[in-house]
Structure 1
Amino acid sequence: MPADTVRAVLFDLDDTLCAYRRSGDELITTACEAVGVEPFFDGATYEARYGEFTDESEDVADLRERCFAAIAADRGRDPEVGRAIARAFAAERDYGNVRPLAGAREAVESLARRYRVGVVTNGAPGMQRRKLAALPFADRFETVVHAGYDTAAKPAAAPFHEALSTLDASPDRAVHIGNSAASDVAGAHNAGLRSVWLRQPDGPGDHRPHFTIDRMGDLTAPPWE
């Protein structure tokens, strides 16, 4: 893709631009311990099931309870144990306790000088706004789409198209950057965008990104150029 054809760059938020000081896996382990059970699922399992519950949930706390209850049932456990773990998880998580991912500031500021930029994130608007506001480059984004609330959740095409409509860019002139192969890479492809995957230890699975980066700072020299 020649550089002059790119008009817009979209970013995922969680674990792409910012990270909790404690990972989702650590919080699930702590929450299980608080309930008195051995951990029987991890953050990847939660992420994979998240989108199933967005339409029926009142808010992120309700969504997490529904999701954890379903995971518990699938593992042969009482769904109420899953709900208890979800409540303990919420009690442990400090939604304001985020830090920018290494290289994220340099990447965003570099790209914002050359492209129109936005965020497409799965998550409740209030929670995601607090995370974004804690980042020193939040004012660089022209639009933020809260997928699963403003539109269908990623990997649906709708949130990407919603962001691009604000940025006055077509899918074939846009790229999306994210860490989740299942949400970000697949979602970008569903919407007709090129994908940039921030490499994770477990690999991309069946989802093959157009470009792969090892760290956010790599984006100061965009791989599509």
Structure 2
Amino acid sequence: MEAILFDLDGTLLDRKSSVQVFLDKQYDRLYPWLKSMEKEAYISRFTELERNGYVWKDKVYQQLIEENEFSRCSSEMLLDDYIEHFQESCIPFEGLHTLLYALRSKGYKLALITNGREKMQMRSIQGLGIELFFDQILISAKEGCAKPDAEIFHRALNRLNVLPQNAVYVGDHIDNDIKAAKRAGLKTIWKKQPPIDDSHADAEIDQLSELIDLIESW
């Protein structure tokens, strides 16, 4: 095993907690324009509309504006606030930095593959303070291809100069991460997300701290 490749949202970034913290702060920050809607309702509706990050934020904010009479507030204003401030609310899963330090010290090549828009995803990566740990960072919008397309995995491996059978991909999404990486020829480790019980991955972990011993056992 020469290289460890990671997903970002739901694997390294505790996205659910981060979004909740951000929305709470955003509402307070922009309260004069959002006060026609209760904070709990604002957070709940945003969360519902964005479908765990699979709907672009500009679409989410446009829908919120259409549904509510926010005085002198535009979707562009809300989106700009997201881009500017989300990184301040990024919460890592426990043990993230310890894990990345350990993997680097053991000589593994590291890469990050994430779907999304370049500016938003890079700010999340920087918000976690992990950018410099990775030899390669591939963001779908910049690459012109996205998971579950095997091309983005092969592109990362080529840049690392590593064969698929000598790499493992760690992710939380069954289709975009586990099944897609397996089709690309990599070993897979599923960071478990209830209520799903079976991911068809080569291995499963509950916590990032379990990863090193698992990889070393291979």
TM-score (norm 2): 0.71
Structure-2 separation of matches of 1:191 and 1:33? 46
Q: State the match for 2:102 in structure 1.
A: 110
Asked if 1:95 is matched to 2:95, the reply is: no
1:47-196 equivalent positions in 2, closer than 5 A: 47=52, 60-62=56-58, 64-65=59-60, 81=67, 87=75, 90=79, 94-96=85-87, 97-112=89-104, 113-196=106-189
1:28 and 1:39 in contact (8 A); partners too: no
Among 191, 194, 216, the alignment partner of 2:208 is 216
Offset, 1:149? 3.5
Offset, 1:142? 0.4
Deviations 1:68-96 (A, max 9, x none): 97xxxxxxxxxx65xx9xx5984668421
Q: State the match for 2:30 in structure 1.
A: none
Structure-1 separation of matches of 2:82 and 2:38? 12
Higher-Rg member (1/2): 2
Deviations 1:201-220 (A, max 9, x none): 12156x41111001001113
Deviations 1:131-157 (A, max 9, x none): 112233421100000024313221111
TM-score (norm 1): 0.69
Asked if 1:202 is matched to 2:195, the reply is: yes
Among 18, 35, 47, the alignment partner of 2:13 is 18
Q: State the match for 2:31 in structure 1.
A: none
- In structure 2, the gaps of 5 or more residues are 28-33
1:148 and 1:154 in contact (8 A); partners too: no
Structure-2 separation of matches of 1:107 and 1:95? 24
Offset, 1:107? 1.6
Name the amino acid aligned to 1:17.
L
Q: State the match for 1:46 in structure 2.
A: 51
Evaluate the alpha carbon distance shift between residue 147 and residue 190 of structure 1 in structure 2; reply closer, same or farther with a 3 A threshold: farther
1:9 and 1:115 in contact (8 A); partners too: yes
Name the amino acid aligned to 2:175.
A
Name the amino acid aligned to 1:114.
G
SS at match of 1:123: coil
More helix by share: 2
Structure-2 separation of matches of 1:131 and 1:109? 19
- In structure 1, the gaps of 5 or more residues are 1-5, 51-59, 70-79
2:18 and 2:90 in contact (8 A); partners too: no
